[in-house]
Every structure is written in C-alpha cells, then in structure tokens.
C-alpha cells in the first residue's frame, strides 16, 4: 500500500484554492471537476492505494462534483461510502441521497454528479469492475442504487474498512498480503450489494425499521427525532411514541447505543484514540463523551478499556 498522502487547501492562497482542488481531483480521478460558490474553498483529502484499489477520503464544504464521460475507465467502478453529512448522487437518470453509513456505486466511464449542501466527508474507492462483477454478476443493476447503512452487510463492510484504516501505514506490506486484503474488501462489498437493506419501506414493523435506522445513522452528529421522522415518513410525535413504548426517549436511546458501540470498539482496539472515537460516533465534544461514558459504565473510557 502506498503511503497515505495528505492534501489541504489551508496553505493555498484563498483565490487559488478551488483551482488547486480541481487540479488534485483531476490527477486522482480523470475527468473530475469540483464546483463551489466559494473560491476560497475549504477542503482536506487523504489519498492512498491498496493493490488495485485507489482510495481517497475528502472532507469539504458544500460543493458539486462532476465527472464527465471517460471511455478509458470502462473497466473501473467507484464506490462512495458516506461519512459525515450527506449528498445527492445522480447517474443514469437515477438520483438518491446518501446519508452517513450508506454506500452506492457509480460507473467510472459514465457521467455522474454528486451534490452536497453542507460540510461532508466521504470515502471514495475506485476498483476494477471485473473483480467486483465476478462476485456480483448483475453489477449493472446496482449502479447508482443506494444501499442503506442499516444493512448488516454494509455494517460489516464498513467495520472492516475502519479496522483496516486503524492499522496505519502499510506501505511496506507484502504484496501478497495486499492482494489478500483486496480480495476480502471485494468479497465484503459483494455481500453488501447483494443483500436487501432492512430499512426499505415495507408498510409495517415501524419499531424494527426505526431501530435499524438509528444503527445506520449512529455516527451522524445530526441524528435526531426530526431526522428519524423525515427518513421514515412519519411525524416526530410518532417517533417519540415508538420509543415511549420501550420506556425511553429518542435522545436517550441514541446516546445509549453510541456508548454501547464505543464500549465494543474500545474493547476490540487497545490503540484506538478516545478522542477520535468520540467524533467518529457523532459526539461533538470528547469531554462530554467521557462524562457520559463514565455515567453509563462507572468508569472513564481509558480505565474501562484497561479492565477489558
């Protein structure tokens, strides 16, 4: 794996920032352009390779990303895994909004557009089409189709990527190891694409859909009663009533699940930064996270991890 490269517009003259970002985008993925109403564009990017996978993780303010037709990329597809914020993806006449945890594929050779109205972070991975198609024979049916983050397969895939990222720099890793990791990546992505997301509207089972949606959006700091209501097409009062049946409130349940997820991750990764974990799970303040964790488990995160 190549070393992780870091790019930022912070050190660029404000009037040149958007132009700098577009030069970077074009060097990374051919035929890509970024538009923003702000010439002093604020953005950061991590970029690296793992075998045949080209990966970037950009964070930027509101923008529109265009990728025009590129026949030379007909053997590639690109995956978007939404981190913070949301954006609308459009290709082949299909449009859908990705929220935190959701994934969607685009065909690299065909035009597509990504539109975000606010700050967002997205993991973007371009890969060989043939390798993925060997695992998902009807791959074209999945192009420009969102798979929700509540899907068990997507959650497993996302956890694998987070685990891989925490391994740190692997630039000196054996090529056979890298190839094996790429195979696991493609296997898990294929599994995620083939299964049906459990939060699809089914006319019932509102509580199950609500719980699944919370799991899918758990890392989004904007997760709230209103967001849940909008996603499920019901009123905020209905959301509150569903939680009341379980003797809790939306905010209390969300907080509890974030803390339980934090405990799982702390137990499984002794090197994980507590501050990074807090922000990864949607907390805007690491000190507040630590206080809540202590109230829930009787010990601060560092002490709890030492005992487990």
Q: Residue 197: which pLDDT band, with cuts at 50, 70 and 90?
A: very low
Q: Residue 203: which pLDDT band, with cuts at 50, 70 and 90?
A: very low
Both 94 and 118 in a single domain? Answer: yes
Both 188 and 234 in a single domain? Answer: no
From residue 112, alpha-carbon distances to 4, 91, 93, 122, 261 in Å are: 26, 5, 9, 16, 35
Both 265 and 183 in a single domain? Answer: no
Tell me whether residue 133 is in a domain: yes
Show which of 194, 226, 242 is a domain's final residue.
194
Tell me whether residue 282 is in a domain: yes
Condensed to tens digits (0 to 9), the pLDDT of residues 255-264 reads: 999 998 898 8
What local confidence, expressed as pLDDT, does residue 41 receive? 92
Show which of 149, 173, 194 is a domain's final residue.
194
Tell me whether residue 201 is in a domain: no
Both 39 and 125 in a single domain? Answer: yes
Q: What are phi and psi of 192, to 5 degrees?
A: -65, -40
Both 125 and 258 in a single domain? Answer: no
Q: Is 135 helix (H, G, I), strand (E, B) or coil?
A: coil
Tell me whether residue 39 is in a domain: yes
Number of domains in the chain: 2
Tell me whether residue 73 is in a domain: yes
Tell me whether residue 200 is in a domain: no
- Positive or negative, the CA dihedral 260, 265, 270, 272 is negative
Higher pLDDT, 179 or 231: 179
* Residue 275 predicted with pLDDT over 60: yes
What local confidence, expressed as pLDDT, does residue 235 receive? 85
Tokens of 199: 């939060």
CATH number at residue 90: 2.60.120.10
Both 222 and 137 in a single domain? Answer: no
CATH number at residue 294: 1.10.10.60
Higher pLDDT, 209 or 202: 209
Tell me whether residue 105 is in a domain: yes
Q: Residue 152 and residue 270: Cα distance in Å, rounded?
A: 25
Domain range enclosing 302:
206-307
Contact 93, 130 (CB under 8 A): no
Residue 72, exposed/middle/buried by CB under 10 A (0-12, 13-18, 19+)?
exposed
Both 174 and 57 in a single domain? Answer: yes
Q: Residue 7: which pLDDT band, with cuts at 50, 70 and 90?
A: very high
Tokens of 63: 């923008």
This prediction has a pTM of 0.67
Q: Residue 192 and residue 208: Cα distance in Å, rounded?
A: 20
Both 177 and 93 in a single domain? Answer: yes
Both 66 and 106 in a single domain? Answer: yes
Contact 45, 7 (CB under 8 A): yes
Higher pLDDT, 130 or 248: 130
Contact 101, 60 (CB under 8 A): no
Both 51 and 130 in a single domain? Answer: yes
Average of per-residue pLDDT across 233-254: 87
Tokens of 84: 């913070």
Both 210 and 190 in a single domain? Answer: no
Q: Is 185 helix (H, G, I), strand (E, B) or coil?
A: helix
Q: Residue 173: which pLDDT band, with cuts at 50, 70 and 90?
A: confident
Tell me whether residue 199 is in a domain: no
Show which of 142, 174, 194 is a domain's final residue.
194
Tokens of 182: 């790429």
Both 238 and 89 in a single domain? Answer: no
What local confidence, expressed as pLDDT, does residue 45 receive? 94
């Amino acid at each position: 794996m190549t070393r992780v490269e870091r790019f930022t517009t912070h050190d660029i003259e404000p009037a040149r920032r958007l132009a700098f970002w577009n030069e970077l985008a074009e060097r990374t993925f051919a035929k890509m352009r970024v538009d923003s109403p702000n010439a002093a564009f604020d953005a950061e990017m991590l970029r690296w390779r793992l075998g045949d996978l080209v990966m970037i993780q950009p964070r930027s303010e509101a923008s529109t990303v265009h990728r025009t037709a590129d026949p030379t990329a007909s053997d590639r597809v690109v995956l978007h895994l939404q981190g913070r914020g949301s954006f609308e993806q459009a290709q082949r006449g299909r449009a859908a909004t990705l929220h935190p945890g959701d994934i969607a594929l685009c065909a690299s050779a065909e035009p597509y557009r990504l539109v975000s109205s606010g700050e967002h972070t997205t993991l973007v991975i371009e890969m060989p089409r043939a390798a993925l198609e060997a695992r998902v024979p009807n791959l074209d049916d999945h192009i420009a189709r969102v798979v929700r983050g509540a899907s068990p397969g997507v959650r497993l895939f996302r956890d694998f990527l987070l685990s891989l990222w925490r391994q740190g720099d692997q630039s000196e890793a054996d090529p056979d190891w890298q190839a094996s990791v790429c195979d696991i990546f493609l296997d898990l992505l294929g599994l995620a694409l083939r299964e049906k997301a459990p939060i699809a509207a089914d006319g019932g089972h509102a509580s199950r859909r609500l719980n699944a949606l919370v799991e899918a959006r758990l890392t989004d700091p904007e997760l709230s009663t209103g967001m849940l209501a909008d996603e499920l097409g019901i009123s905020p009062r209905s959301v509150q009533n569903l939680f009341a049946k379980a003797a809790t409130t939306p905010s209390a349940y969300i907080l509890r699940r974030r803390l339980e997820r934090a405990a799982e991750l702390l137990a499984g990764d002794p090197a994980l930064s507590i501050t990074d974990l807090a922000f990864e799970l949607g907390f805007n303040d690491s000190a507040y996270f630590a206080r809540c964790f202590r109230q829930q488990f009787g010990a601060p995160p560092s002490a709890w991890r030492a005992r487990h």
